[in-house]
Amino acid sequence: MRSLNRLSIKSKLIVMLLTVSSCSILVTAYLGYRSGQSNLTERAFGQLTSLRTSKAYQIESYFRTIRNHIETLSETPSVVLAIEEFTTAYRQLETVEVSPELTTKVNAYYQQEFIPRLAKAEPGTPVVPAFLPQTKSSTYLQYHYIANNPNPVGKKEALNAAKDGSNYSQVHARYQPIFRSIIDKFGYYDLFLIDPQGNIVYTVYKETDFTTNLTTGPYNESNLARLVAMVRRSKEKNYARIIDFEAYIPSYGAPAAFIATPIFDRSQFVGVLAIQLPVNELDNVMTGNRNWETDGLGKTGETYLVGRDYLMRSVSRSLIETPEAYLQNLRSIGTDTTTIDRIRQYKTSILQQKVQTEAVEKALTGQRGTQIIRDYRDIPVLSSYAPVEIEGLDWAILSEIDLDEAYAPIYSFRDRLLIWTTFLMLLVTLLAMGLAYLFVKPVNQLIAASRQVKGGQLDAIAPLDSDDELGELAKSFNEMVGSLREQTHLVEQKNQENEQILLSIFPPAIVKRLKKGEKNIAENISNVAVLVSDLIGFSAIAEELTAYETVTILNDLVTAFDEAAARYSLEKIKTSGDSYIAVCGLSIPYLDPDKRAVDFAVEMVAIVRRFNRERGFHLNISIGVNAGDIVAGIVGRNKFVYDVWGDTINEASALKSASSPGEILVSDLVYYRLQDLHEFEAVKVTPDNDKEPLKAWRLNYLSGSSHPL
């Protein structure tokens, strides 16, 4: 408090005004920022929730469609007949003679094709005997449709029938094109027919699960085996069941999910129809065919699925768009090398990327909502989560977008808010200082005036206009020095008139230097554009008019030039008779002085033509434009002028002299800078002196936007 008492009244007023104003500005800015952040967050969450709901509906609808389709297929007479015929044909081969050569080729296929591919994808060292077919019929069919199939791995389905003459191959020849067409048209990965004993008697793609037994065979612990066992136990019509993704060995460990339903011939259970669900179709739904931005997810948003085991059921957007950056991010957050290698191997994050975030935890417990969390990349995101309503699957669906991208508008708003807050604080500071100054000014004036009078000075005044005591005191004081105040006023008026005269002769920057007392003013100025023009035909008009009329016409024309020069930021240096010289970049540097000068030249031509139309004259103008460095300064002592010199001026004058009436000639440098904006024609200019000819260019201002009219 004691330190506050030491301050002057002016300082106290400034402190009070700044305190009140600053608090108001800061509170308003904070409330505005929080309101904008809240509204933006709510809008972003609303958009994410809408996308999440839409994707969830598409996924649920997709699985309902598959369920309805497989149930319909299982009731189709051709499918019922197919399972019965394949089962019969398969059993007929149980007693077939399998030669050692045939068995050797099947073993060789597993040893040379299947096991090496599987070893690259699966941990450990798989052994051949664990995967070999266990029955004669299985060995026989795997030889003809896999080992001896001329088509490469991944194209085995192209073989419609083996040339072994068996009943199985005849049945296969009838149904393979039909079932292959079904999976192609509906986008399924594979289709299986399984007999009541669990034998896979038919598949479309002929992977190593073909003809194996899902109860006793090498894949009896796969998710397909568990699903088929569930369907076989139920033996109920319209009992279509889905099993979640797991690594499927016959597909070399790739993620695979299945849907299966029983097949009945009337009331007799004759087998199981199963479909291996396509990963690509699921990803197309979740990624919008990889058009995330079109879906409204911006540069970083994505919608993905997570299972009960906290592993992804759809592909990460980062893996698709920036795989190396995605894998590097996984390394940085401590993901084990084996997982990273498997993601790189399979080129998918399904069943590889673990997502155990707070949003996933809540979604898997049946909750729906929105929240700001750290995602599986350990990056802050806006997340909208919910469970997926698909019978047989315990999945969560999440729509997320990086917090930095979602809040980019609010961050921009915050930065602008800080700038404006700082500006307002500075403005308030200036206003506070000004108001405080105005408040204490009368007191200070009276104090100063009294001291001056006390010291014998009679030129002090106290210009107070108030009815209070200070006003009365000031009025009495001012009456004593009124005459002196009038004289001071006259002096100030003369000073203003002199300053206006200087401004009409010199550029403002030169006037400031003159007022500071500088006498010898000269400087080199770089990167300017010089325009020199000559009014043609005015002398003939002047001979027919009075001196007053001549000056009036010339003044109107020069005034129009001056106004146009101001618009294009050129400074008039001087007019001499019919000549007009102006420079761009003299007091204030510009990045495009050449363009401004050429545009002004075109405007001068337009002014002259308009002047002719309005007044019936036949004037014309020739103009030269050059760019470069000049010397500028004040010449003379009693009668002085501000002028410019240099080769740039001389060349511009030479260009003017060489141009025909109505032409605008520019130097080679101006042409080089403006050739993309205007059309030019090359001309040669021969100066009046003995200098070499100049290379010049005639501006074609009758084309494009350069037309002066």
Split the chain (709 residues) into runs of 10 and give each run's mean pLDDT.
Answer: 64 72 74 70 82 88 91 92 95 89 92 86 78 91 92 89 92 94 91 95 94 93 93 84 91 90 92 90 82 83 91 89 89 87 84 90 91 90 91 90 81 77 80 73 69 61 64 65 58 64 63 70 88 89 83 89 92 85 91 93 93 89 93 74 84 90 92 91 75 84 52
Task: Give the three-class secondary structure for 305.
Answer: strand
pLDDT value at residue 459: 60
CB 621 within 8 A of CB 634: no
Domain 519-706 grouped into CATH 3.50.50.100? no
Task: Give the three-class secondary structure for 26.
Answer: helix
Query: How many angstroms separate the CA atoms of 74 and 231, rounded?
Result: 13
pTM, two decimal places: 0.56
CATH number of 76-277: 3.30.450.20
179: phi then psi, degrees, rounded to nearest 5: -70, -35
Give me the residue spans of the domains in the chain. Answer: 76-277, 519-706
Query: How many angstroms separate the CA atoms of 592 and 572, rounded?
Result: 18
CB 538 within 8 A of CB 619: yes
pLDDT digits (tens, 9 = 90+) for 578-603: 889 999 998 889 999 999 999 999 99
Query: How many angstroms separate the CA atoms of 327 and 309, rounded?
Result: 21
DSSP code of residue 309: T
pLDDT value at residue 420: 81
pLDDT value at residue 11: 73
Q: Give residue for tokens 């002199």.
A: 498
What lies within 8 Å, CB to CB, of 686 at 6+ separation is 658, 693, 694
pLDDT value at residue 229: 93
Query: How many angstroms separate the CA atoms of 519 and 501, rounded?
Result: 17
pLDDT value at residue 705: 44
pLDDT value at residue 81: 95
* Angle ∠(557,560,565) on CA atoms, nearest 5: 125
Query: How many angstroms separate the CA atoms of 221 and 40, rounded?
Result: 50
Q: Could you tell me which of 85, 190, 202 has the C-alpha nearest to residue 138?
A: 202
CB 152 within 8 A of CB 74: no
pLDDT value at residue 454: 61
Q: Could you tell me which of 663, 588, 664, 589 has the C-alpha nearest to residue 626?
A: 664
| Dihedral angle, C-alpha 353, 354, 360, 366, nearest 10 ° | 90
| Environment class of 174 (CB within 10 Å of its CB; exposed 0-12, middle 13-18, buried 19+) | middle
